[in-house]
Structure formats: structure tokens, C-alpha cells
Amino acid sequence: MKSNAPLSDLAARAAAFTAERDWAQFHDPKSLILALTGEVGELAELFQWAAPSGEGVSTTRAGEEMADVLIYLLHLANALDLDLGAAVTAKMDANDARFAVTDVRSTAPRKA
């Protein structure tokens, strides 16, 4: 699989991983969100005492934790039968409209 694989291919690979191991029985939404929270916690720990720039934190280690976060997002999308790529594109469309460049340029974001 190429590194620029679409999200739908990554979601399919996550689904196959789960099916092969008969792990769908563990993949209810609440359990998966707790697992996602665990990975976000590991990502936070990597940066907690770093300078704001993150200098000194291993990009490789950060990538591993970020990958874990995304993998659980994919498992959750599969559990909910939800198209994550479509959800992201829809949210990006909404953010483009909500945060008009002329309104917010150079001012701190609120949520985007």
C-alpha cells in the first residue's frame, strides 16, 4: 500500500486486520474511544515538557503515536459504518465557510 493511499483503503485494511483476528467483538465505540484516548495521552506525553516548538521530540516517535490515533479513528469509523474521508471533506468544506479568510486572517483560531 502506498503512503498516499486514500483513507478508504486504510479503513479497509483496518477492517481486514480486525476481521482476521475476530476482534470486532471488542470494537464497540466506547472501548475504541477509550483506546483512542490512550493513544492521544501517549502523544501528549511525548511533548509535555518540550518547548512549544516541540524541539527535541523525535518525529519518528510522534509519527508512531499519531498513527495509533488515526488507526483507532479508522476502527471507530468501521464500527460505526461511517465514511471518515467523506466526514473530513464535509468538515473542511464547513470550516472554509465558517472561518472566512477576510474575517480571521492572522487572528487566533477559535476552533478549526
Query: How far apart are alpha carbons 55 and 45 in whole angstroms?
Result: 14
**Residue with grid cell 479513528, as numbered in its chain:** 73
CB of 103 to its own copies, least distance (A): 9
CB of residue 55 vs its own copies: minimum separation in angstroms? 9
* Least distance (Å) between residue 87 CB and its own copies: 4
d(CA 11, CA 111): 26
Do 76 and 40 contact (CB within 8 A), yes or no?
A: no
